[in-house]
Amino acid sequence: MNKFEQLGLNESLLKAIGDLGFENPSEVQEKAIPTLLEKDTDIVALAQTGTGKTAAFGFPLIQKINPENRNTQALILSPTRELCLQITNEIKLYSKYVKGLHTVAVYGGASITEQAREVKRGAQIIVATPGRMQDMINRGLVDISKIDFCILDEADEMLNMGFYDDIVSILSTSPDEKSTWLFSATMPQEVARIAKEFMRKPLEITVGTKNSGSSTVSHEFYLVNARDRYEALKRLADANPDIFSVVFCRTKRDTQAVAEKLIEDGYNAAALHGDLSQAQRDGVMKSFRNRQIQMLVATDVAARGIDVDNVTHVINYQLPDEIETYNHRSGRTGRAGKLGTSIVIITKSELRKISAIERIIKQKFEEKTIPSGIEICEIQLFHLANRIKDVEVDHEIDSYLPAIEEVMKDLTKEELIKKMVSVEFNRFINYYKKNRDLSAQSAGNDRRDSSSPRPGDNGATRYFINIGSRDNYDWMSLKDFLRDTLGLGRDDVFKVDVKEGFSFFNTAPEHAETVMDILNSFTLQGRRINVEISKNDGYDKNSGRRDHNGRGGGFSPRGGGDRSSDRNARSERRGSGESFGRSGSRDGGSRDGGSRAPRRSDGFGGGNASRSSSREKRPRRS
Ligand code: ADP
Ligand code: MG
């Protein structure tokens, strides 16, 4: 008997769950499903984003609905059109073996008459955004006077978006004796108020700690001068070749401006904000899901509905006005048990906000320095080497091989490797050779983790090691592993930076011999570990490459090359580290599959003013 059977779910649901590849229920599912199946109760369930709340209410709801009765029996309210469609889609997948069950999505920006028609045909479940729902009720196009269930999904976000009045008004047209299920990531006062005023003795389920951000997200900040914000953003992107990120700006204007600059500089970026038409926004989101966009620059409001798994980084290009919003931003990464990083690019005058956020998220930030040019070059170099190693060969090339071999025939293997890597690498080294460091001096030592050596503690030795996130390490676990393997003390290994297929770390120089000896003769799951001393020490300030004139230049060494194939490889590998397993992953199959198509610079549907210019200005491969 599998775990889902033990929860009391029926055959048709179990079959659908099997198709979805869900193997084990997540914690919130384990807690909510049996309770909701057994009892007619109100419930408040708090769990972080990405923990599977949709199925936690969706499964029991589907089992309790009577598909033979065509009346609307359940209303699910959700904050945005995106989420509304997502939930509808999930519910349809879950209920695909339940004959006669119809679910209809009701949301703004699409034909109201068409939606009304669908509802009229008989929809036992309506998934709606509050504004459109209110509209349909006012016009007499829907009837929720007989519903048995009302679900408030992502209640905190709905209230955050100012839907309180709509919700109250919608609920007033529904029967008193229904069950209300409230699902939320956090429990701010407005949510508590809804629970108190509109629910009867709700059971409370909490997964993880209340109000805290997701623990699969680590938080970092980078202190820079205000004028270097954009340059810092570019470096962070260059230092993370596989970045798949949401970049938050405060205003629509900044959002558009940053996106346009990134596009001009050759990044796969796009803007998402309220001045775009619905069709443009849909186009952008589609490209983002397909990973034709690696950096989605968004306002808070526009990003509310983003629930794309596998986002590697959330970047706070500017902090939000309300620090509570930080939680919503960082919740865009670290979903479905995957690890994510939330980055804040910050200036000295805003530094105190970091402690305020730490109190809210109940997690500490790590202060980091913007990677130096050398470090970025090294990262790109190893990344490139891995890409070459992992690339899938298209056999279309076979017929050209004899001719190509003829061209290369006088090169030794070593020469060939050197030249191949240089084709890409020269662009980076040329760009970064003339670039200064970006880190602003910290306001004092108060923000620094006093235990670890920092810039100024000269002479650390930095290493490159060929294990990384694909081996399921993050910086903390790698630090632990290194310390234990090397038999070093608590703070002897520092500045651990984990990339996909490799990582960097520092020790004091006197440990160098131990590090090289022990690690180079070590095997990890049958694989030889390779450690080398890196040329940079990980501290920009010591790199001796200050050149205050060589900044910017509007050119990024980034090409629009197809980095997707090894990202696919990574997301598949990463999958094994999920908190709840899924076989035959839908994500891995369809969503990521889309990115195997060659990258197109204009792949996002019309959402960007500078779309055409990006084609001209994209750095050319030389
Ligand atoms: P939340 O609403 O808590 O933010 P979702 O319901 O959107 O989370 O689920 C996040 C992702 O996890 C979705 O892609 C969903 O299909 C997947 N998922 C949900 N439950 C499971 C499970 N038991 N096993 C594997 N994947 C799951
Ligand atoms: Mg959800």
In 3-state terms, what secondary structure has residue 429? Answer: helix
Answer for the pair 25, 4: CB distance below 8 angstroms, yes or no.
Answer: yes
Verify whether ligand 1 is closer than 6 Å to residue 78 (CB atom): no
**CA of 52 relative to ligand 2 center, distance in Å:** 7
Q: Over 80: is that where the pLDDT of 246 sits?
A: yes
- Nearest-CA residue for ligand 1 atom 20 is 52
Q: Where do the domains of the chain lie, and which CATH numbers do they carry?
A: 3-206 (3.40.50.300), 217-371 (3.40.50.300), 460-536 (3.30.70.330)
The structure tokens 């700006």 sit at 249
Probe ligand 1: pick from 86, 181, 335, max atoms within 8 Å of CB?
335
Ligand nearest 575 Cα, by number?
A: 1
Ligand nearest 590 Cα, by number?
A: 1
Verify whether ligand 1 is closer than 6 Å to residue 219 (CB atom): no
Residue-level pLDDT at 305? 64
Verify whether ligand 1 is closer than 6 Å to residue 130 (CB atom): no
Residue-level pLDDT at 498? 86
What's the mean per-residue pLDDT of the chain? 80
**CA of 337 relative to ligand 1 center, distance in Å:** 9
Residue-level pLDDT at 94? 97
- Nearest-CA residue for ligand 1 atom 5 is 52
DSSP secondary structure letter of residue 175 = -
Rounded to whole angstroms, the Cα distance separating 77 from 128 reads 5
- Nearest-CA residue for ligand 1 atom 16 is 52
- pLDDT tens, residue by residue, 36-63: 999 999 999 998 878 899 999 999 999 9
Answer for the pair 245, 312: CB distance below 8 angstroms, yes or no.
Answer: yes
- pLDDT tens, residue by residue, 196-229: 888 998 999 988 754 444 467 889 999 998 889 9
Verify whether ligand 1 is closer than 6 Å to residue 582 (CB atom): yes
Average pLDDT over residues 339-361: 88
Higher pLDDT, 590 or 203: 203
Nearest ligand 1 atom to the CA of 54 is: 6
Average pLDDT over residues 188-201: 85
**CA of 212 relative to ligand 1 center, distance in Å:** 19
Ligand nearest 48 Cα, by number?
A: 1
- Which long-range CB contacts under 8 A does 428-433 form with residues at least 24 apart? 428/238, 428/376, 428/377, 428/380, 428/381, 428/557, 429/377, 430/557, 431/373, 431/553, 431/555, 431/556, 431/557, 432/373, 432/374, 432/376, 432/377, 432/557, 433/373, 433/545
Min mean pLDDT across 206-210, 327-331, 413-417, 486-490 is at 206-210
Q: Over 70: is that where the pLDDT of 620 sits?
A: no
Residue-level pLDDT at 611? 33
Verify whether ligand 1 is closer than 6 Å to residue 580 (CB atom): yes
Answer for the pair 272, 255: CB distance below 8 angstroms, yes or no.
Answer: yes
Residue-level pLDDT at 440? 65
Q: Which residues contact 108 (CB under 8 A, 6 or more apart)?
A: 81, 129, 131, 132, 135
